[in-house]
Chains A and B, each alone.
Chain A
Amino acid sequence: MATRVLMPALSPEMKFGKLTRWLKRAGEYVEAGDVVAEIETEKATMEVEAAASGVIERILVPEGAEKVAVNTPIALIAAMEKPAAPPEQAAEAQEDLPPLSLSVRDALREALAEEMRRDPLVFILGEEVGESQGAARVTQGLAQEFGPKRVVDAPITEHAFAGLGVGAAYAGLKPVIEFMSFNFALQAMDHIVNSAAKTLYMSGGALNVGIVFRGPNGARARVGAQHAQDFSALFAHIPGLKVVAPFSAADAKGLLKSAIRDPNPVIFLEHEKLYGQLFPAPRGKDHLVPIGAANIARAGRDVSIVAFSHGVGLALKAAERLAEEEIEAEVIDLRTLRPLDMATILGSVAKTGRCVAVDEGWPQGGIASEISARLMEEAFDDLDAPVARVTGQDIPMPYAANLEKLALPSEADIVIAVKKTLYLKT
Chain B
Amino acid sequence: MAASPYEPQDGESRLAAFLGDGGDVAVYRAMLLIRRFEEKAGQLFGMGLIGGFCHLAIGQEAIVVGMRLAARETDQFIASYRHHGHLLASGADPRAVLAEMMGRRGGISGGKGGSMHMFAPELDYFGGHGIVGAQASLGTGLAFANAYRGDGRVCVCFFGDGAADQGQVAESLNLAARWRLPIVYVIENNRSVPGQEGELARRGAAFDIPGEALDGMDVDAVRAAGTAAIARARAGEGPAILEMGAERYRGHSLADPAKYRRKDEPRAAAAPDPIERQRVRILDAGQADEALLKQVDAEVRAIVADAAEHAAQSPEPVAAELFSQVLM
Contact = CB atoms under 8 A, between A and B. Distances in A.
A168 B141 CA distance: 4
Interface residues of A, number: 40
A198 B142 CA distance: 18
Interface stretch (B38-46, B83-91, B165-173, B219-227): B165-173
B119 A171 contact: no
A239 interface: yes
A200 B327 contact: yes
A168 B142 contact: yes
Contacts of B140: 160, 163-164, 167
Contacts of A249: none
A123 B110 contact: no
Interface in B108-130: 108-114, 117-122, 126-127, 129-130
Contacts of B145: 167-168, 170-173
Interface residues of B, number: 46
Question: Which 4 residue pairs spanning A and B have beta carbons closest together?
Answer: A167-B141, A163-B137, A160-B171, A204-B110
Interface string B161-180: 00000011001101100100
Nearest to B170: A160
Contact of B111 (A204, A205, A240): A204
Contacts of B114: 202
Interface of B: 76, 78, 107-114, 117-122, 126-127, 129-131, 134, 136-146, 148, 167-168, 171-172, 174-175, 178, 324-328
Contacts of A191: 134, 137-138
A182 B118 CA distance: 30
Given A166-B141, A172-B145, A204 B108 contact: yes
A105 B252 CA distance: 50
A240 B327 contact: yes
A201 B119 CA distance: 11
A202 B126 CA distance: 12
Interface string A236-251: 0001101000000000
A1 to B, nearest CB: 51
A169 to B, nearest CB: 7
Contacts of A208: 328
Contact of B131 (A154, A155, A194, A200): A194
Interface string A158-189: 01111111111111110000000000000000
A346 B61 CA distance: 58
A275 B50 CA distance: 52
Contacts of B326: 200-201, 239-240
Contacts of A67: none
A165 B145 CA distance: 9
Nearest to B116: A202
A190 interface: yes
Contacts of A242: 327
A185 to B, nearest CB: 14
Contact of A166 (B110, B119, B138, B327): B138
A157 interface: yes
Contacts of A171: 76, 141-142, 145-146
